[in-house]
Amino acid sequence: MSAQPQITVIGLGTGDEAQLTLGAWRKLEGAGNRGGALYLRTKEHPVVSMLDHHGIRYESFDAIYETNDRFEDVYEAIADELIAKARQPEAGELLYAVPGHPMVAERTVQLLRERCAGEGILLTLLGGESFLDQAFLRLGFDPIEGFQLLDGTSLSAYDLNPGLHTLIGQVYDSFTASDVKLTLMELYPDDYPVTVGHALGVAGEERVREVPLYELDRVEGFGNLSLVWVPRTESESVRKRTFARLHEIVAILRSPEGCPWDREQTHQSLRRNLIEEAYEVLETIDEDDPDHLREELGDLLLQVMLHAQIEADEGSFTVFDVIAELNEKLIRRHPHVFGTELAENADEALSNWQQIKEEEKRRKGIDPEKQPVLAGVPRDLPGLLKAYKLQKKAAAVGFDWKTLDEVLPVVESELEEVKEAIRHLGRAEQQEELGDLLFAVVNLARFLKVEPEEAMADANRKFSRRFGYIEQRLQEQGKKWEHTDLQEMEDLWQEAKKVQKSDGV
């Protein structure tokens, strides 16, 4: 019976041959004497010169790097080849040497750990000194303060935590360093001090340099043994850009040591604030003012945070539960993005969304077909918007006019009823007839494919501009409102229409 196939992974350490473990060296020294072979992930490592000096034969996988564009493809190809070689008859113990420690930033080793058992291959790991050991020694920080190790080739701003010391490995070249710099700049100031380390612990090759973040990719010498250290900070200028700090501030405001006003707030007391902040966001959108929009979005987000914190104080749920439920819903309702379904256009995507919503209701014990047609329209929507949504729902089941020509007489008829109410009826009847007229006008807007709220917002802005013109002209003339008659105001109004129309406003 042939022996079980075996792959032994050896860590070559950080590059200083004096730091190579005795067990690892004996394995390397005996390579080829046991019928096996030695393979290197890469020859680009200082210890390889010692292998050459002692005449230890090896093969490297450097050629695979040259034939693949993505690192993940490289690592998959190396793992495939190692497994194939290990399964060859009489292969013996196959040695695979990697830089540093086998379990630190070595994707090929992780792939072997996932696959070897299923392939019937015995996998053994021999640790070597990790570049982390040298980083702690040379850079002089204690990881107990909080530490994270990230991959420079796939760095994301979502990974960053300024409260932790951050080491970024796999910074192979200036292009990767540039990507790392741009990602870090999403959180850290441009002049934040970072440290670049090349070949830490390797005598004669080690270089350590601190630079402001904006100069990171200008540092020379990036290679296989390069890393970047971003020191931890409690600086408010950095922490204020994190969601964690926002959550912390809102919790403090609601705490016994916080703000008396914030502590007293309830969902009901904040109700009007939420509506007002939403409308202020809409106003900045209409203004096309990004700076103002940024501010108002922050005010709206504060309302969400306060409502979530009120529930957290009651022990009901936290803002993280809100985020989790939203994420689950977004993924579930976009199977054409996160699943296998297709949506060629916006209409198909919306159709998918509606079908999934109905399925969600069924899982909750609600039969969409037995629900009232007008269900689902929020009670407290603004009047024009609510009328628009009610009419759309009714139209979906056929309760609607067929053409625009049928709608216009309805508007005219409702206007006549308002006139009649003004002549002969009381205030309650006048209000009712005026409501009917507005409802009919919304119907007209729907047939014209105009959002009534947007049309109303445009009209409000136009009125404000023209009225503002009247006010400005009166100030220029040294006149006050009480000394100006209606005819003069009307003349200025007509003047405003001409001036602003010629200005394209």
Residue 34 has a pLDDT of 55
Tens-digit pLDDT profile for residues 224-260: 889 999 999 999 989 999 999 999 999 999 999 999 9
Residue 505 has a pLDDT of 59
Tens-digit pLDDT profile for residues 155-207: 999 999 999 999 999 998 999 999 999 999 999 999 999 999 998 888 888 99
Tens-digit pLDDT profile for residues 345-393: 888 888 888 788 778 777 877 776 677 777 777 777 788 888 888 888 8
**What residue type is 260 in one-letter code?**
P
| For residues 402-407, average pLDDT | 88
The residue ranking higher by pLDDT, 493 or 73, is 73
Whole-number Cα distances in Å, 307 to 46, 103, 193, 297, 375: 58, 44, 38, 16, 25
Tens-digit pLDDT profile for residues 269-318: 998 899 889 989 988 888 888 999 999 999 999 999 999 999 999 999 99
Residue 1 has a pLDDT of 45
The CA distance from 3 to 26, in Å, is 22
Residue 333 has a pLDDT of 87
Could you tell me the end-to-end alpha-carbon distance of the chain, in angstroms, rounded to an integer? 90
- The answer for residues whose C-beta is within 8 angstroms of residue 346's C-beta and 6 or more apart is none
| For residues 85-89, average pLDDT | 87
| For residues 431-460, average pLDDT | 88
Residue 2 has a pLDDT of 59
269 token code pair: 């007391």
Burial of 455 from C-beta contacts in 10 A (0-12 / 13-18 / 19+): middle
| For residues 460-479, average pLDDT | 85
Instruction: Work out the pLDDT band at 503, boundaries 50, 70, 90.
Output: low
Q: Where is 60: in which H helix or E strand?
A: strand 59-60
The residue ranking higher by pLDDT, 348 or 216, is 216
Residue 504 has a pLDDT of 62
CB 321 within 8 A of CB 492: no
Is the model's pLDDT at 451 over the cut of 50? yes
Q: Which of 51-55, 127-131, 157-161 has the lowest mean pLDDT?
A: 127-131
139 token code pair: 């850079």
| For residues 29-57, average pLDDT | 83
Whole-number Cα distances in Å, 203 to 40, 199, 239, 427, 441: 22, 9, 38, 94, 83
Percent of the chain with pLDDT over 90: 46
The CA distance from 167 to 38, in Å, is 31
CB 198 within 8 A of CB 219: no
Q: Which of 36-50, 112-126, 194-208, 341-355 has the lowest mean pLDDT?
A: 341-355
The CA distance from 8 to 5, in Å, is 10
Mean of per-residue pLDDT scores for the chain: 88
pTM given for the model: 0.68
279 token code pair: 């409308």
CA 237 to chain centroid, in Å, comes to 21
Is the model's pLDDT at 33 over the cut of 90? no
CB 437 within 8 A of CB 414: yes
CB 384 within 8 A of CB 456: yes
CB 493 within 8 A of CB 473: no
